[in-house]
Structure 1
Amino acid sequence: MSENHEGDPDSGLCRVSILCCLTLACSYVGSLYVWKSDLPRDHPAVIKRRFTSVLIVSSLSPLFLSVWKELTGIKTDAAFLSLMGFRLECILTATVLPLLLTMILFLGPLVQLSMDCPWDFLDGLKVAFDPRFWILCITDMRWLRNQVIAPLTEELVFRACMLPMLVPCTSPGTAIFTCPLFFGIGHIIGPVLCHSFCNYIGFPAIFTALDHPQRITILIFYILGVVLFFLLLNPMTDPALYGDIPICYLLERESVDHRSLCS
């Protein structure tokens, strides 16, 4: 349960929260540009240097949350790591459902990808379970950046550390939609996987789909994916499916259960 605090804008809570989030966002983005180089961004040397920078900022990002708690005087019964999203409760649903919902949204690109893939299903499974394939992946700096380092560090900084700072002065819904704005200036197992998946698929190649020999089928799946996404969004993101949500303890409450505040 959170202790009572002055949560109105005049109390300075929101100003402190926004300032901390802005500082954290600028620190993350700034760390990418501290290295001066004429090499392209996909050069292994550039990627390794940026790995070092973002890993340092990401490892220090929980300190921003700690400082924010000290500046605002907010106290909560929830464990510090739990506030950041590190918990085992409902880990299966938190892993599967967000990723499945994201894959539904990308149904059109996935169908297009499967049509253009030279492998059949069994060949794909053989590759997926081949250790040599994964060794090749993790030794590829671009793959490691797009599928591991970027999703993990960005979700840690822009979601795990920023959401707790924004929730007390806004609401869970507003905070969730505000975090990407700080990301624009510059997710936790579920958001990390979804982030990695989106990096892998990339932006839907709609114009390529229009020129595809099977464009009617692909466009049907594009539309179907978007429709199913909006139909399934509320039921698959129902807070009841994800257990006790620690950041909800940061909300002021008098006699209202924190679950209802986050539903």
Structure 2
Amino acid sequence: MLEPEHGPVIQEEVEHSHVRCWVCVLSCLLLACLYVGSLYIWRSSLPRDHPSVIKRRSASVLLVSALSPAVVKAWMHWADIRVNAFVLELMGVRLEGLVPAAILPLILTMAFYLGPLVHSAMDNPKGFSGELQSLLDVQSWRWCVRDAVWLRNQLVAPVTEELVFRGAMLPMLVPCTGPTAAIFIAPLFFGVAHFHHIIEQRRLHKDSMSIILLVSGTQFLYTTLFGAFTAFIFMRTGHIVGPVVCHAFCNSQGLPDLTSALQHPQKSAILLSYLVGLLLFLVLLFPLTDPFLYGPIPVCSLSAPAASAC
């Protein structure tokens, strides 16, 4: 009795899957190289925080970000991806669920930073009311929006990096790796992209090579961890606005300074706030990112039906 020959069909599907994955990886590498490479098309001996350098580099990365939907569209054509969603929707630019997507991930991130926020309030002569007054001070905001470094750190970097390294790369990774693996793979491109700071440091001869590598390695670690968090937010909400807002907030706060907290006169209260913040973050992580709050998530249409992260 003859059985149907499925061998050639299965082999063809496997080969197509391999090609799709290679196209995905190469597309992500292309975007990462375009983003980092655009920073160095301007020849200058000035430091990276000089206003003219910031303006030129901001223009470059904004252009790369504007082109990222075209890269995703080209990838969909080459990888033969057909979904009932626009490219921008796959990249998290959509209206449904926009308000909770902008607010709830920020609340989650602020819970994680409860320790540093309490620490800052304790060091403010006016306490928590002083912190609130500073936040609502119109004159302070006017000064900020005129500062090139502030605009880069709080606006340009969060928008462009999240759009390219999350909004564009995650939809390309999901069909190949699945949503869960994509959350941990996409941040590797983000972390490696930050190694370009080695070039800056060597050019300025500020530190020895060993110090530069140590700092760059530490930066790779925390940018990769942060990238995994914002990738998780993106996959759970289907919005790019949450990662952008969280990115801007984290840039404003920097890394939590545990060393300073341990040396503080009221270290017990501060350390307790660190612990409470961490527990709140873990308890609220899944409830505040429940996909039910944000409507159907377009990027999930790229994954297999059994994919747990969607």
Q: TM-score, normalised by structure 1?
A: 0.89
User: Residue 114 in 1 paired to residue 121 in 2?
Assistant: yes
Amino acid of the structure 2 residue aligned with 1:250? L
Cα distance change on mapping 1:176 and 1:118 into 2, 3 Å: same
User: Residue 80 in 1 paired to residue 132 in 2?
Assistant: no
Cα distance change on mapping 1:121 and 1:261 into 2, 3 Å: closer
Cα distance change on mapping 1:126 and 1:207 into 2, 3 Å: closer
Cα distance in 2 between the residues matched to 1:128 and 1:233: 26
Cα distance change on mapping 1:79 and 1:183 into 2, 3 Å: same
Regions of 4+ moved over 3 Å: 5-11, 118-131, 260-263
Q: How does 1:244-259 map to 2 (within 5 A)?
A: 244-253=296-305
Q: Deviations over 1:105-135 (max 9, x none)?
A: 1111111011112345555545444433222
Match of 1:241 in 2: 293
Shift of 1:37: 2.2
User: Residue 163 in 1 paired to residue 141 in 2?
Assistant: no
2:42 equivalent among 35, 46, 49: 35
2:254 equivalent among 202, 206, 222: 202
Match of 2:268 in 1: 216
Shift of 1:149: 0.4
Q: How does 1:51-200 map to 2 (within 5 A)?
A: 51-186=58-193, 188-200=240-252
Give the SS at the match of 1:63.
helix
Q: Which structure is higher in helix share?
A: 2
- Number of aligned residue pairs: give it: 254
Structure 2: segments with no counterpart, 5+ residues? 1-11, 194-229, 231-239
Q: Deviations over 1:43-88 (max 9, x none)?
A: 1121111111111111111111011011001011012211110111
Shift of 1:94: 0.8
Give the SS at the match of 2:286.
helix
**Aligned 8 A contact 2:69 2:87 in 1:** no
Give the SS at the match of 2:285.
helix
Q: TM-score, normalised by structure 2?
A: 0.76
**Aligned 8 A contact 1:32 1:50 in 2:** yes
**Aligned 8 A contact 2:27 2:75 in 1:** yes
Amino acid of the structure 1 residue aligned with 2:141? W
Shift of 1:141: 0.4
Cα distance in 1 between the residues matched to 2:176 and 2:15: 7
Cα distance change on mapping 1:205 and 1:124 into 2, 3 Å: closer
Amino acid of the structure 2 residue aligned with 1:115? M
Cα distance in 1 between the residues matched to 2:266 and 2:130: 23
Give the SS at the match of 1:213.
coil
Larger mean CA deviation between 164-173 and 8-17 belongs to 8-17
Cα distance change on mapping 1:87 and 1:7 into 2, 3 Å: farther
Cα distance in 2 between the residues matched to 1:199 and 1:9: 41
Shift of 1:89: 1.0
Higher relative contact order (CA 8 A, sep 6+): 1
**Aligned 8 A contact 1:6 1:13 in 2:** no
Amino acid of the structure 1 residue aligned with 2:282? F
Cα distance in 1 between the residues matched to 2:54 and 2:90: 31
Larger mean CA deviation between 234-243 and 209-218 belongs to 234-243
**Aligned 8 A contact 1:108 1:222 in 2:** yes
- Determine what percentage of the aligned residue pairs are the same residue: 53
